[in-house]
Structures are given as structure tokens and as C-alpha cells.
Amino acid sequence: MKHEQSYHMTPEEFEKNGQEVIHWIADYYRRIESFPVMSQAAPGDIRAGLPPHAPAKGESFSSILQDVDKIIIPGITHWQSPNFFAYFPANASGAAILGELLSAGLGVQGMIWATSPACTELETQVLDWLVEMLALPEKFRSSGTGAGVIQDTASSASLCAVLAAREKATQFASNLKGGDGRLTAYASSQTHSSVEKAVKIAGIGKENLRLVPVDRNFAMRPEELAKLIQEDRRKGKIPFFVCATVGTTSSNAMDPLDKIGAIARQENIWLHVDAAMSGTAALCPEFRHIHKGLEFADSYCFNPHKWMFTNFDCDCFYIGDRKILIQTLSILPEYLKNKATESGAVIDYRDWQVPLGRRFRALKLWFVIRHYGIEGLQYHVRQHVQLAQEFAEWVKGEPDFELMAPVPLNLVCFRHKAGAKFNENLLDHLNRSGKIYLTHTKLNDIYTLRMSIAQTNTQRRHVEQAWELIRKTARELKEKIKD
């Protein structure tokens, strides 16, 4: 039999190359501490190493992999390094990586139940498990009025929440164009920028987003929220959406959900709770106080891709009344009609998100939960929190440094007392050393360093070394100033 010409990898070649890649990744994790955590590449460096034109003829897999080492690695900031303490984490794990690989291997596009029932049903089940694992309100279970869905990011979850809230407030008359400029949304001055973006995309208008002042711990002040709502009502506006945050990006502040929730309920305003990183802490009963008042929430999200050892991207978004979300985002063109959908017995997640297509993300989440078990996940979360609490104590005990915010979980905001310029310089030296990577924020307009402890393989010695390095570098910089 004559074979047709093919440029594809055969299963045998795939197996061989695949083993090489798995070996490469395992070796990468063994070597990861030898790389500078923050890429030291200058703008344009990586492109300069790449050929100006795509190859006309296919190349060998080993030469591609060699170029990963030569060209790509110098341009990588090593998010999975145990010495990565920047931003909020995007942690990964062996189980998640293999789940991701399997998802790529199956190549499923799970837009509707019929395009791969397992993609939908595993997602529903795993999101129900998480309701139990995090002790979330029962209404978020699929057996109730609500349910969960995996979004790519918390930004998408916020957008879906704003859209659903808008439609609810306008009785699904989107032709009101976001309420004719009358709808108003509320978030604290510390809320993640993705909420402002969502408000813009939803046509509400940035000018209709009220930034509620915060207290000395950077948490939303409920009495200020109530005041702003009343002011808007007097002006003929329609308050429709409030976002409360469990663990703000700058300082990990916890908005008081119970008080905000009571106001939202009384005013008939949609409450969305963004727990992007910190939600994972609720795996441990002793940290579940962060969710006090969550029963008031109409929607909620947290990112396993931040702190639950699940590769980016994976955000779990829950809604208390799924009908509203579905009615908001549902469209049914002829080419997607099918018997399962018509039967009403299945979930079609395409109606629960902005894009049509969707990846099989539940697979990696399932792998992670099964690999670690609840116990394993709790162990590592507790370890991170413990290390951050200890780091905070070290800062408190060092006369030249000070804490800049409470440390409820695993983020420490601190600074050297020598002022903004000194701290900027300190951060720059630390990051250029390649030994650790930290980022900064401003709290009350004061330049502040952030130590975010949540990398999969971060252990006590990494945190101790980081603190040693921070103190040593600060001492050296001070000496230099004196000279």
C-alpha cells in the first residue's frame, strides 16, 4: 500500500521527542535555582537571537530543543523558582503539568457538552468538590440554583459577573446600553484593575465606577460604600454591582464581606467576591474566616492557577443563580444545535463565558486534587502562611525595616526606613542579583516592597536566604551612601 506523504510526527517520533521534553522539564526543575530568577534580558535581546524568517523546511526536534536552551531560557523569568517572591504567584506542579499535557494530547474543544461530555462533566464535578473543599456556600453547588465554571482568569470571571449583574439590573434589556449611563458600580480603591476593565468592556463607563475609600488596613469601608450608593440614588443613578476582594493585590487586605454583603442585599445590588489568590487558603478550616459573609455573594472566584499548584490558566468562577449568567451569554446559532442541548439535561459551558471555545482545564485540576489530596494541599498552604508569618516577625525585629500592612496570610508588605529612593534601589539590586525576585507597590503613596510566599517548591531555607540577602544588600547600600 502506498503511503501518502506526511510532514506530521509519527506516534513513535512523538513518543521519543515527548520523552525528551519530559526529561528536559524534569531537568529544568533540578537546575531551576541556577538561573537568575528575573530574566536579565534587555529589550530586543530574544528577537535578535531568532532568524528573521520562518524556516521553509522542517527542522529536527533536537535542534528546536537546543534553541530553547540557547535562545528562550535567557528570556525566561523563572516563575517556578523557589526564589520567586514577586507579584502573586502562578504556581505549577508535576501533577498539573501532566494534566495539561494530557489535555493538549486529547486536543478537545469543549464548547458544548456534545463536543466531549467528559470535559463538561468532569468540570462540574470538580467544581462541586471545591465547594466542599473550601466550604463555599451551598448555593454554588450544581445541585442548587448555581454552579461553578472554569474561566481562564479572574479578569474573565469579573467580566462575566459585571455582564450578568448588568443584565439582571436592566431586566435583560441590553439595548439600554449599560443602563443609559445610569448604572453605577462599586469597588474599593485597592480592587484589582481587572474590575475597572470589566466595567469599561461592559459599557458601564469608567466614570460610573466608584472607588470606595479603605480603612487603615486597606479594606473597604462599608459605611463609605453605603454613603456612595445613597448619593448615587439621589442623583437618579442605578447602583447595580459591587466587588469585594478577599486578599487585595497590593497588600492582601480582606474586605468585610459580611457588612458589604448586608448592604448589597438591602440595596438589591449584585455582590461579586474576588478571592483570586487568597481563596485557596480556605482549604484550611483555620483560614475560612476570610470568607465570612460569602453567603451574600451572587458570584465568587478564586484562581487555582495562583496558589493551588495548578498551571496557569485556571480560575474557578461560581454563580448563585446560573440562569442569569446563561441568559446573559447564551446565543444558539443553527450549527451548534444538537439533541443533548435540546433535551435540557446537559450543561453547555459556552453559555457561561465570553468565548465560544474552551480548553479541557478540569483535567489538570482533577490531577492536582487527586495527586495531593485535600491533606497535601492544606499542608503546603499552611507551610506558606507559616513562612510568611515568620518573615513578618523578622521584619518587625529589625530596626531598619518596618511592616507596611497586616499579614493575614502569605504576603508581607515591608520597607526599609531609609525612604522611597532607597527601597527602589534596594529592589533593583536584589532583582539584578538574580538570586531572588520581589516586586513593589505603593500603600498610602509610600513605596513598599512585597514578599509573596507561595511558590510550589519554596522552603524555609529559601525564605531565610532571601531575608539574609535583603538585609545584606541594604547594609551595603547604606555603606555606599555614607562613603
Which residues of the shown chain bind ligand PLP in the complex (CB under 6 A)? 88, 153-155, 192, 194, 245, 248-249, 274, 276-277, 303, 315
Distance in angstroms (rounded) separating the CA atoms of residues 417 and 396: 12
Residue 263 or 276 with smaller CB distance to ligand PLP: 276
Closer Cβ to ligand PLP, 274 or 351, answer by number: 274
In angstroms, give the least distance from the CB of 362 to ligand PLP: 17
Residue among 86 and 204 whose Cβ is closer to ligand PLP: 86
**Closer CB to ligand PLP, 93 or 191, in the complex:** 191
Q: Which CB sits closer to ligand PLP, 81 or 251?
A: 251
Nearer to ligand PLP, 305 or 462 (CB): 305
Query: CB 90 → ligand PLP: shortest distance, Å?
Result: 8
The nearer residue to ligand PLP, 206 or 233, going by C-beta atoms, is 206
What does the block give as the cell for 50? 531568532
Nearest distance from C-beta of residue 79 to ligand PLP, angstroms: 13
Shortest spacing between CB 152 and ligand PLP, in angstroms = 7
Q: Which is nearer to ligand PLP, 103 or 191 (CB)?
A: 191
Cα 61 to Cα 84: distance, rounded to the nearest angstrom: 30
Least distance to ligand PLP from the beta carbon of 312, Å?
A: 8
The CA radius of gyration of the chain, in Å to the nearest whole number, is 24
Q: Which residues of 221-241 are buried (b: 16+ CB within 10 A; e: fewer)?
A: bbebbbebbeebeeeebbbbb
The alpha carbon of residue 317 and the mean position of all alpha carbons in its chain are separated, in whole angstroms, by 11
In the bound state with ligand PLP, the residue whose beta carbon lies nearer, of 116 and 303, is 303
- What is the C-alpha to C-alpha distance for residues 397 and 110, in angstroms, rounded to an integer? 53
- Smallest gap from Cβ 251 to ligand PLP, in A, equals 11
Q: Are strands 315-319 and 299-302 parallel, antiparallel or unpaired?
A: antiparallel
Q: How far is the CB of 301 from ligand PLP (least distance, A)?
A: 8
Which candidate, 319, 233, 232, places its Cα nearest to that of 270? 319
Q: Which residues contact 396 (CB under 8 A, 6 or more apart)?
A: 402, 403
Work out how close the CB of 159 gets to ligand PLP at its nearest, in angstroms, rounded to a whole number: 9
Of 276 and 443, CB closest to ligand PLP: 276
